[in-house]
């Protein structure tokens, strides 16, 4: 399923699972994918989020406000976690974003565009709580991708 994903995009999704486990959550949500996008310092999404002064510390604080931490258990740390409906839609939307941009890969930029599209997801709410205008971030990504295509 993830064969068209760049290495950075795969690392983001892996980090999302790790972030969910750190919160002792029994699912992967868009908030965890956002944390993965911030944590993985490589890729278009990281460049955009850094430019917008979004950092891991503040994003995690917002996640803690929005989502109740789970309780620790002794299960295997590599257990597969189900995705929330919004996270599942984000994965599907990332493919659509890549297709719309005529890209034959799915990168961190497509994950970020898809996250912004899931306005009811916790990840978009975290960005909103950090005073980000989602449409402005979307324009940043599209401008960056457009400049890269011209280069």
Among 105, 127, 104, which residue's Cα sits nearest to residue 115? Answer: 127
pLDDT (0 to 100) of residue 73: 67
What lies within 8 Å, CB to CB, of 116 at 6+ separation is: 124, 127, 134, 137, 138, 141
Q: pLDDT tens digits, residue range 132-146?
A: 999 999 999 999 888
Q: Please give the domain boundaries of the chain with CATH numbers for all domains.
A: 7-69+82-150 (1.10.1780.10)
Per-residue buried b or exposed e for 37-51, using 16+ beta carbons within 10 Å of the residue's own CB: bbbbeebbbbbbbee
The alpha carbon torsion through 43, 46, 51, 56 (nearest 10 deg) reads -170
- What secondary structure does DSSP assign to 14-82, as a single string? HHHHHHHHHTT-SSB-HHHHHHHHHHS--SHHHHHHHHTT--HHHHHHHHHHHS-------S-TT---P
Predicted model pTM: 0.91
Please tell me the distance from the alpha carbon of residue 73 to that of residue 151, in angstroms, as a whole number.
Answer: 49
What lies within 8 Å, CB to CB, of 64 at 6+ separation is: 23
pLDDT (0 to 100) of residue 2: 75
Confidence label for 77 from pLDDT (cuts 50, 70 and 90): low
């Amino acid at each position: 399923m993830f064969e068209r994903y760049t290495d950075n995009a795969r690392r983001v999704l892996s980090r999302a699972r790790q972030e969910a486990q750190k919160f002792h959550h029994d699912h992967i949500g868009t908030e965890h994918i956002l944390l993965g996008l911030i944590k993985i310092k490589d890729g278009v999404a990281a460049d955009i989020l850094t430019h917008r002064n979004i950092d891991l510390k503040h994003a995690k604080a917002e996640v803690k406000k929005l989502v109740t931490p789970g309780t620790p258990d002794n299960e295997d740390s590599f257990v597969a976690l189900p995705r929330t409906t919004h996270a599942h839609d984000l994965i599907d939307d990332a493919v659509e974003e890549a297709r719309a941009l005529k890209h034959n890969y799915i990168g961190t930029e497509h994950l970020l565009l898809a996250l912004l599209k899931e306005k009811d997801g916790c990840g978009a709410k975290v960005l909103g709580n950090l005073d980000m205008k989602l449409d402005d971030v979307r324009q940043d990504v599209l401008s960056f991708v457009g400049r890269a295509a011209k280069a």
